[in-house]
């Protein structure tokens, strides 16, 4: 059995720690209350389909658009939600 590994990520400019491989939707639900849908919708959101079909969980990961339900946490990744600094710009 492998041991859980805690890693560091940057979430909306704030250092955070979580389990390696944690789905980003889980990280966001716990650490970014009120994260919002894409700027065109602007409504509160969370994981909807869980398999990348609806695009409601779009975030920016290391400067690129990503679906949070399909991404897992890895050391040093930079995650920006639509509610983070610079949102809507």
pLDDT of 89 above 90: no
Give the CA angle between residues 5, 17, 87 to the nearest 5°. 135
- CATH class, range 6-80: alpha beta
Pairing of strands 6-11, 78-80: parallel
Q: What is the pLDDT of residues 18-31, one digit of tens each?
A: 999 999 988 888 87
pLDDT for the residue 3 = 62
Q: What is the pLDDT of residues 29-80, one digit of tens each?
A: 887 766 654 555 555 555 566 667 777 788 899 999 999 989 999 999 999 9
């Amino acid at each position: 059995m492998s041991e859980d590994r805690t890693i560091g990520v940057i979430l909306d400019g704030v250092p955070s720690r979580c389990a390696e491989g944690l789905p980003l939707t889980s990280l966001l639900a716990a650490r970014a209350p009120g994260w919002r849908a894409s700027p065109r919708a602007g409504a509160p959101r969370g994981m909807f389909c869980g398999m990348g079909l609806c695009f409601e969980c779009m975030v920016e990961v290391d400067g690129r658009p990503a679906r949070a339900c399909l991404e897992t946490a890895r050391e040093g990744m930079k995650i920006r939600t639509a509610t983070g600094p610079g949102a809507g710009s």
